[in-house]
Structures are given as C-alpha cells and as structure tokens.
Amino acid sequence: MKLFSLHGQIAMVTGCNKGLGQGIALALAQAGADIVGVSRRPADDTKHQVEALGQRFYTVEAELGQHAPSEIVSQAIVQAGKLDILVNNAGIIRRAPAIEFSEEDWDAVLDVNLKAAFFLAQHVAKHLIERQAPGKIVNIASLLSFQGGIRVPSYTASKSGLLGLTRLLANEWAAHDINVNAIAPGYMATDNTQALRDDPERHDEILGRIPAGRWGTPDDLAGAVIFLCSDAARYVHGHTLAVDGGWLAR
C-alpha cells in the first residue's frame, strides 16, 4: 500500500551490521527506502542484502560515543544527498551488580545509548527543518524503559531516558512535521541477550513469562518500524511501541 511505502526516502540506521539493526535496515529497504548504515565495523552483509532488494546502501563507519554526531550526519548527507528517516538503534550493555558498577561502564553506556542518540536526532532534525521537509525519527528503547531490570543500571537509565527524550523531542518537533517515536523490543535473540540465553535458569524464567512463548527475532520489528517511518504514522507523536510478545501485559 502507498500508505506504507518509503520509496524515495533515505533512512539512516545506526548499528546495522547485524541483529536488530540489520533487520530494521532490511525492513526499510523492503518498503522502498535507501539506507545509510552507521556501524563500527563494515556492514557488508547488510549492504549486500539491501542491494539485492534493489535499494542503495551508503556506509558510514563510526564509533558512537567517540565520533561527533554532526560529522556522522554530514557524511551521510554528502553520500546520500539528504536524510528523511533516522533510526537510533545502536546500543551497548554492561552487566554488574549496582553495588559494584563502575563509572567507566556507566559513562560508556550512557554515551552511546542516550547522548549519541540525542545529538544524532538533533542534527537530523536541523537538516529536516532547513529543508522544510517532513521526517521520522525512531528510537530503539527497551522493556527496561518501563521496568528496572537487574544488574544493568546504566542500560536501564539510558533506555528510561530515551523514552522520556522521545516524548520531549516529539513535543518540540511535531510542529515541524517531524514524528519522533520509539520501539521497545522485548527479549530478542541477539548478542545483547546471549548471556541470558546461555544461563539455563534465566532463560527459563524469561521464556516462562513471555505469552508468545518464544524469544523475538529481528523480523518481528519489521512491521513496527515500517509503520512508524511511513505516512501511516503521520499523526503518531511521542509514542513508545512495545514489540515484546506480550511481556508487559503479563
């Protein structure tokens, strides 16, 4: 349907060399968008799959939290000509009891998950406003935007902050026809959850609470991200959509 078409759009996706980011990039490409992939390492597999769908893939290699967001956005625009969509997907996690948690691990996670996401959104919004063009910004939040979790204090703080930031940016930028929303994935089979899935007790505890009866996959985010990046969501502002197999409803 044209309502969900992204033809002619350029979408920048951070952390798209594998996992959820790769799934998001491929979903947007299937809907017709060209992709700017921002990753620490070459996203060759994602590039090949996007190009196999008939879309262009532009590469920006950058370490979020180290490289200036303004430079990342500038590189993207030089290559692609413009940006219409930003998906702030890249994120890191550090696990340790709160009583022992280090300042280094706190700063590393907040710098990537929250600070970089904000300043990337800021520079993309400036670009959209200068062009007087509508745009979509989607932040990848978490179930820990709503819950506390255990042994991940900086991750919980960053994802809770990202939910609040999504609402604030929506309040300020909706008047510019920029939709800012978020997706909160549930427990997904990715590198970030490998330690949980390798722990038989934690694995069974988590799986036992998911009404859908399975861990999520990157494909499970496709419909949500296409919706929030398309004209179908033009009147959706500041919402965080849980894609969690029913976890939060339990």
Q: Rounded to 5 degrees, what are φ and ψ at 86? A: -125, 130
What is the residue type of 218? P
* Beta pairing partners, 188: 216
Cβ(90)–Cβ(21) below 8 Å: yes
Task: Please tell me the distance from the alpha carbon of residue 135 to that of residue 29, in angstroms, as a whole number.
Answer: 17
Q: Apex CA 226: angle with CA 29 and CA 135, to 5°?
A: 90
Q: Name the residue among 185, 60, 183 with its Cα closest to residue 123.
A: 60
Catalytic residue among 58, 155, 187, 235: 155
CA quadruple 8, 10, 13, 18: dihedral sign: positive
Q: What's the token pair of residue 3?
A: 């309502």
**100: Cβ contacts below 8 Å, ≥ 6 apart:** none
Expressed in angstroms, the distance from the first to the final Cα of the chain is 33
H/E element, 71: helix 69-80
Task: Please tell me the distance from the alpha carbon of residue 138 to that of residue 221, in angstroms, as a whole number.
Answer: 12
Active site residue 187: no
Task: Please tell me the distance from the alpha carbon of residue 213 to that of residue 209, in angstroms, as a whole number.
Answer: 8
Residues recognised as catalytic: 155
